[in-house]
Amino acid sequence: MTTSLYNFIDAKDKFAASAVSALAGRTSKPLINAFNQITGNEAEKKTTLDQSLRGVLGDQIVEQKASCDEYLALIYISIEAVTEGICSATTPFLLLGDVLDCLPLDQCDKIFSFVEENVSTWKSSTFYSAGKNYLLRMCNDLLRRLSKSQNTVFCGRIQLFLARLFPLSEKSGLNLQSQFNLENITVFNKNEQESTLGQKHTEEKEDGMEVEEGEMGEEEVPATCSIPIDYNLYRKFWTLQDYFRNPLQCYEKFSWMTFLKYSDETLAVFKSFKLDDMQASKRKLEELRTSAGEHVYFAKFLTSEKLMDLQLSDSNFRRHILLQYLILFQYLKGQVKFKSSNCILNDDQTAWIEETTKLVHQLLKEIPPEGEKFSAMVEHILNTEENWNGWKNEGCPSFVKERVVDDKPKRPVRKRQAPEDFLGKGPDRKLFMGNDELTRLWNLHADNMEACKSDDREFMPSLDEFFAEAIEQADPTNMVEDEYKVVRNSNYGWRALRLLSRRSPHFFQPTNQKFKSLADYLDSMVSKLAKELPKDIPSEEIKTGEEDDDDNGDNLLKESNDSPSMQSKMVSNQQMDDVAAKLGAKWKTLAGQLEMKASELREIETDSEDVDMQAKLLLVAWQDREGTQATVENLVSALNAASFTQIADNLSEA
Amino acid sequence: MGLIELLHMSVFSQSFSPCGKFLAAGNNYGEIALFSLSAALGPDANELSQKPILTFTAHEGPVFSLLSTDSHLLSAGNGEISAWSWAELIKKNVKAAWTRRPNYKSSLEIPEINAMALNPADNSLAVGGGDNNVHIMDLENGAFKSVLQGHTDYIHCLSVRERASEVLSGGEDGAVRIWDTRTSQCVHCVEVYKYETCARPQHGKWISCLTTDSDWMLCGGGPSLSLWHLRSMSPTSVFPLSGCQRQATFYQDMILTVGEGQCVSHCLMGGEVKAQIPCTPHSINTLAINTNSTEHRVLTVGGSSDHIDVFTNLSYKAFSLRF
């Protein structure tokens, strides 16, 4: 098939017609239909459509019959067309640009609203890359046409739109090199010649024309201002604005000195001239709000001398100036990549800046209304600025966080071993305390607990050690007089008591003896101990208190000879049989020793005729009565007491 | 004037010229200095314009009081009153128009004159000083018309209550006496230190500052500065100022007062101290407001320093005139 030559004009006309009908019907269908009908390749058709759309718009504008809505409708159709893929992506932007270029400002407002509303469309992938430069150029053109003081809101809207359109790191929107607007010059009357006050108006007056400048009439006497003016302060105050305009001046020595001097004076005035609290200003604020409807008119500084007093008494004005100071200080102190290397503050300057920053903040806090809040807010904002500054210094990295690719397998983290000599884990297991003496002390023994339990910490003497002297004295053969006996010594006596309580079971023996004095009591104790001591006392620490409380202390002595296992053994039946057999008729004697009651004896006698059996019954009764105390040792001691030593020995041997 | 003398100088009195362009100040050396306000306040003011255009010795002792009439400057020093023509002074012609002396009882010691007040109703001058009496002098013929006796100690301050043609005097004895000029009798005697709200026994009882606004009277000194209602003769507000006040004046709806303490205090009629504006002298003796001129309407204060502070805006010190 031969490719026929693409007829551009024809296609364009066809597209134009369909565009008009699309516009009339507010739908892009005719365009789509036309697109499909015309033969030709995509690219050609697209460019043709672009041209035709532009042509249609141009016609409409030229005719001046259409309203903004018409233009907007056309542009909207073109957006649809792009989405359908029949039109190139730049066309809507070109159309917008054309419209805005050709319309007066008040109508641009409406077009711009349309632009604002469709931010999401512009940001979508199809449109963004194609259109962002066009949009930027379009907005800049608009901004250039607008006056910042007359159309502040519109300018603001355009700026905001740009901010929303572009990502944060878009460099074209940044003041990358931190340059200053050096053209922002504050004009004031620097010397007396320029002051229009107090001077006769020398210009020729035309007939009939009222010269109204400077309130000069036809008077001969120069009109003078009606209030005294502090020219000194006036000049110094406004000179400061030059330093705020161009902070780099501060790095030069001479300029810095001037700045210092003037600032000190100005801040001194602020300090001494405290602002009135609220009464007047509150009313003024309310009036402002109601009349201006939340619009605050900020005129660039009005620098007439006559206004100086009024300005000084205004809180907002003061806040402006003080804020300028803070911004300036932040710049001077801050690290900015684009500052040249000789822009460094010396120590004096830094110190002065610190001091003055504090003063400025204090002054801000004193300015009603809500000075404290304002000061805190300002501090916070300036801190945030530091972050932005840092961001710019790094070359404005993007804020989009990249997804972290997790491909490295996690290595098992090796637990670091404690260093060798740490806490006694080293080879020689020595603790290093950092100080020789301490190290020595700590390393006397590896384990504190063991060290406390070790034998050489036993300081309590044994009974024989302590009482040796007393026992010797108690021996009548030595013939030691009573008053010289060591037991009379109260100190000795006290210690003896303590030792007895820890070591001797005699201490806990209830006794009917009444002792008149400690010495007497100790005498008896000593005598008891004397009997024991030649024999070995098996255990040094006798458990106190619950030791079997037999009536007879002598029993204890005998019992202590027995092996411990025997002591608490219960009498078995077998043993009882043996004993009974051996006892025979003599069981009554034992009964006395076993402290059986007479009634019980009679009972036993009546129970059985057999003496063996009676003996057995006796023992059984004894066992019942004693319960757990029916131990072998008790029986043995009873047997011994009843002179049945043989039987006792037999029993104990068993 | 050597540096030492400047260091020890105290300014005791001030007065503005009738045209309002000049300020006369009297110091403890007996000198009067004339300053040009128009030069000092002009746009091309420099160091020199803050110096006096004329300095002359007026009296042997300190010039405690200065007063301006329509044409003359009256100065009071050691027991005598001199009059200087303003016109002549501006032309730097230093010659006293007249000098008079009140009749003092004893001729041994000459009492100083501490205060003068002008009574425009009958063109008379009330003069009070160290002899515990107020002398009334007729300015037309220069004769001393009457003597108001009653104070038991020297007189610090005088004030004239025009509407009622009364003279008020405050003295070291702590009494404020109100005299009728026609009868020369003491109409009232208020002993301020006897009122508990005002009394400050730690400072004393003397009254060093007195001013009146026909219905109201301000007085202070040893006792706290207090505002009195003259009709009821009772204190309505007491001002919580720590030092002893030496001069006070009513200005618009405020009260400006100076005294011990390195500041000018702005107070409200209700008794609160609105502001205290710092100034150069450590202890201030005199405060004056130039009501004779609108463009030079400044407040000037002088005290124990050779600097006289000028306030164009009441709330901060603009600059200082120097002797």
Q: Output the tens digit of pLDDT for each of chain B's 323 residues.
A: 788 988 999 999 999 999 999 999 999 999 999 999 988 888 888 888 889 999 999 988 899 999 999 999 999 988 889 999 999 988 988 888 988 888 887 767 788 899 999 988 888 999 998 889 999 999 888 888 899 999 999 999 999 988 878 899 999 999 999 999 888 899 989 999 999 888 898 999 999 999 998 789 999 999 999 999 988 888 999 999 988 999 999 998 899 999 998 999 999 988 889 889 999 999 999 999 998 888 888 999 999 999 999 998 888 888 899 98
Q: CB of B50 within 8 A of CB of B101?
A: no
Question: How many cross-chain Cβ pairs, A to B, lie less than 8 Å apart?
Answer: 57
What pLDDT is attached to residue B17?
Answer: 93
Lowest mean pLDDT, pick from A65-69, A281-285, A520-524, B60-64: A281-285
pLDDT band for A551, please (50, 70, 90 cuts): very low
Inter-CA distances, B92 with B19, B55, B88, B99, Å: 16, 9, 6, 19
Helices (H), B83-238: 86-90
What pLDDT is attached to residue A407?
Answer: 61
Written as six digits, the tokens of A470 are 């007393």
What's the mean pLDDT in A449-460?
Answer: 79
Q: Which residues of A touch B45 (CB under 8 A)?
A: 231-232
What pLDDT is attached to residue A419?
Answer: 64
Q: Which residues of B touch A269 (CB under 8 A)?
A: 316
Residue A382 has pLDDT above 50, yes or no: yes
B277 lies within 8 A of chain A by CB: yes
Helices (H), chain B: 3-7, 37-41, 86-90
* Residue from the list A227, A231, A274 with its beta carbon closest to the beta carbon of B297: A227
* Residue from the list B278, B294, B317 with its beta carbon closest to the beta carbon of A226: B294
What distance in Å separates the CA atoms of residue A39 and residue A36, rounded to the nearest whole number?
8
Residue A564 has pLDDT above 80, yes or no: no
Lowest mean pLDDT, pick from A389-403, A496-510, B235-249: A389-403
Question: Which has more pLDDT, A281 or A475?
Answer: A475
Close Cβ partners of A346 (under 8 Å, ≥ 6 residues apart): none
Close Cβ partners of A113 (under 8 Å, ≥ 6 residues apart): none
* Residue from the list A189, A195, A272 with its beta carbon closest to the beta carbon of B316: A272
Question: Which has more pLDDT, A515 or A286?
Answer: A515
Compare all CA atoms of chain B with the CA of A235 and give the residue at the minimum distance. Answer: B43
What pLDDT is attached to residue A614?
Answer: 83
Compare all CA atoms of chain B with the CA of A226 and give the residue at the minimum distance. Answer: B295
Residue A516 has pLDDT above 60, yes or no: yes
Tokens 């010269």 locate to A211
A195 lies within 8 A of chain B by CB: yes
A227 lies within 8 A of chain B by CB: yes
ipTM above 0.90, yes or no: no
Most confident of A67-76, A222-231, B311-320: B311-320
Written as six digits, the tokens of A384 are 């945030």
Q: How far apart are the CA of B279 and the nearest CA of chain A, in angstroms? A: 9
Inter-CA distances, A566 with A523, A616, A632, Å: 32, 22, 7
Residue A214 has pLDDT above 50, yes or no: no
What pLDDT is attached to residue B114?
Answer: 92
What pLDDT is attached to residue A546?
Answer: 40
Most confident of A54-63, A254-263, A514-523: A254-263
Most confident of A204-218, A458-472, B111-125: B111-125
Lowest mean pLDDT, pick from A33-42, A138-147, A331-340, A531-540: A531-540
Dihedral angle sign, alpha carbons of residues A637, A638, A642, A647: negative
Exposed e or buried b for every residue in B174-206, given b needs 16+ CB within 10 A?
Answer: bbbbbbebeeeebeeebebbebeebbbeebbbb
* Residue from the list A198, A224, A230 with its beta carbon closest to the beta carbon of B313: A230
What's the mean pLDDT in A153-178?
Answer: 82
Q: How far apart are the CA of A198 and the nearest CA of chain B, in angstroms? A: 10
Closest CA to A135 of A119, A153, A152: A119
Tokens 């007040």 locate to B117
Helix H or strand E segment including A579? helix A573-583
The whole-chain average pLDDT of chain A stands at 77
Mutate to test the interface with A, among B273, B315, B321 (most CBs of A within 10 A): B315
Residues A518-540 have pLDDT tens digits of 888 888 888 888 887 764 444 44
What distance in Å separates the CA atoms of residue A360 and residue A358, rounded to the nearest whole number?
5
Question: Which has more pLDDT, B175 or A222?
Answer: B175
Q: Which residues of A touch B317 (CB under 8 A)?
A: 272
DSSP A408-437: SPPPPPPPPPPPTTGGG-STT-----SSHH
A272 lies within 8 A of chain B by CB: yes
Compare all CA atoms of chain A with the CA of B263 and give the residue at the minimum distance. Answer: A272
What's the mean pLDDT in A334-360?
Answer: 84
Compare all CA atoms of chain B with the CA of A195 and give the residue at the minimum distance. Answer: B43
What's the mean pLDDT in A625-648?
Answer: 80
